[in-house]
């Protein structure tokens, strides 16, 4: 029986709330993560563990900080002007914000897929091959071909594009573009894939395709997904965290959060009363 957030005894030695104690160490854990944009705090004291090979969904109304949170996990906020981060984010126990940590290397371990499909204005092949190329992940073009084909296959795109790998990535449909972005992300063999509302720009059919893909991908990867669709969170995720006005209000097994939310705000949100 998973331990819900409210049932953690106060004498627990750590302030990290363990979502599922039975699964060993978390892949990513945040400790008192606080983010400021300029002087305004966007996230307060977030403590959240993300388990390996699980899908963790982040839900909450617009502006609640879930995108900010997910971007902290691969330090994409570094490039945002005026963004300041306090607290700790650990990946396999190492603080990724510690001095001397390499954000560039981190992002090869923690890949990201964005809200709007953003393939490079290059060919489908080059889109996928770019990451492995800059990281020197192959020795010859045969190996490169293999990486590209494998990544496209894993992203479920290979059958649709195998005859036109040299066509521009932007010529694909929206859903295909998003899968191309997923292929591009997994080509560099990350351990974690962050997805920031990956289906919000897609139609229901393309969305279903991506969801199917996410379910397949969680075998190999730890996935964190931000979504506005409660149904999507319920369908896809093992764990759910509900954010509200920059605070982490509730976290736990998806089923529990949706069927028996402890916090009133969560209940209002998941039952569709607000948000």
Partner 1 sequence: MTETMESKSRRMASLRKKRYRAERRFRRLGFAAVSVGLIFLTVLFGVVLISGFGAFKQTFIQLDIAVLQGSDNYQGMVKQALRDIFPEVKSRRHKRQLYALVSSGATYQLNARIEAEPDLSGKKISAWFPASDDVDMVIKGRIARDGPAELRRVTDQQLRWIERLENEGRIRTQFNWAFFTSGDSREPELAGIAVATLGTLLSLLVCLVLSFPLGVLTAVYLEEFAPRGRWTEFIEVNINNLAAVPSIVFGLLGLAVFLNVFNLPRSAPLVGGMVLALMTLPTIIIAGRVALNGVPPSVREAALAIGASPLQAVFHHVLPLAMPGVLTGTIIGTARALGESAPLLMIGMVAFVVDLPSTILSPATALPVQVFLWADSPERAFEERTAAAILVLLLLTILMNLAAVLLRKKYEIRW
Binding site for partner 1 (CB under 8 A): 74, 76, 79, 81, 104-105, 107-108, 111-114, 116, 118-122, 130-131, 134-135, 181, 184-185, 187-188
Rounded CA-CA distance 42/28 in Å is 20
Cβ at position 257, least distance to partner 1 in Å:
28
Q: Phi and psi for 212 in degrees, rounded to 5? A: -55, -45
Angle at 223 between CA 219 and CA 226, to 5 degrees: 145
Angle subtended by helix axes 174-187 and 204-217, to nearest 10: 20
Q: Phi and psi for 269 in degrees, rounded to 5? A: -70, -50
User: Which CB, 62 or 81, lies closer to partner 1?
Assistant: 81
**What residues have CB less than 8 Å from 77, skipping those under 6 apart?**
35, 68, 71, 83, 85
Cβ at position 254, least distance to partner 1 in Å:
26
Cβ at position 202, least distance to partner 1 in Å:
16
Cβ at position 208, least distance to partner 1 in Å:
24
The DSSP bridge pattern shows strands 55-59 and 110-113 to be: unpaired
Cβ at position 188, least distance to partner 1 in Å:
5
Cβ at position 151, least distance to partner 1 in Å:
11
Q: Which residue has the tokens 């573009």?
A: 177
Looking at 135-253, list the stretches that DSSP marks H as alpha helix, in order from N- to C-terminal side: 141-154, 158-161, 174-187, 204-217, 230-236
Q: Is 219 exposed, middle or buried (0-12, 13-18, 19+ CB in 10 A)?
A: exposed
**Direct distance between the N- and C-terminal alpha carbons of the chain, in angstroms, rounded to an integer:** 30
User: Which CB, 126 or 250, lies closer to partner 1?
Assistant: 126
User: Which CB, 175 or 261, lies closer to partner 1?
Assistant: 175
User: Which CB, 155 or 185, lies closer to partner 1?
Assistant: 185
User: Which CB, 72 or 270, lies closer to partner 1?
Assistant: 72
User: Which CB, 47 or 74, lies closer to partner 1?
Assistant: 74
């Amino acid at each position: 029986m998973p331990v819900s957030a409210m049932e953690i005894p106060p004498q627990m030695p750590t302030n990290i709330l363990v979502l599922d104690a039975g699964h060993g160490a978390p892949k990513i854990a945040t400790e008192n993560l606080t983010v400021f944009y300029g002087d305004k705090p966007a996230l307060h004291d977030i403590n959240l563990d993300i388990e390996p090979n699980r899908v963790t969904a982040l839900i909450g109304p617009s502006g609640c900080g879930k995108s900010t949170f997910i971007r902290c996990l691969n330090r994409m906020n570094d490039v945002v002007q005026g963004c300041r981060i306090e607290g700790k984010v650990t990946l396999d126990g190492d603080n990724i914000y510690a001095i001397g940590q390499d954000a560039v290397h981190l992002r090869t371990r923690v890949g990201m897929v964005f809200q709007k499909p953003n393939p490079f204005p290059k060919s489908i092949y080059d889109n996928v091959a770019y990451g492995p190329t800059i990281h020197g992940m192959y020795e010859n073009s045969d190996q490169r071909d293999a990486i590209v084909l494998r990544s496209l296959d894993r992203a479920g795109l290979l059958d649709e594009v195998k005859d036109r790998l040299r066509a521009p990535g932007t010529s694909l449909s929206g859903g295909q573009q998003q899968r191309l972005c997923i292929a591009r992300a997994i080509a560099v063999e990350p351990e974690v894939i962050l997805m920031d509302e990956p289906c919000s720009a897609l139609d229901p059919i393309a969305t279903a395709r991506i969801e199917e893909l996410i379910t397949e991908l969680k075998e190999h990867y730890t996935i964190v997904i931000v979504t506005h669709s409660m149904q999507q969170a319920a369908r896809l995720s093992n764990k759910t965290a509900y954010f509200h006005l920059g605070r982490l209000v509730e976290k736990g097994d998806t089923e529990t959060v949706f069927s028996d939310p402890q916090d009133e705000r969560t209940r209002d949100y998941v039952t569709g009363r607000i948000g």
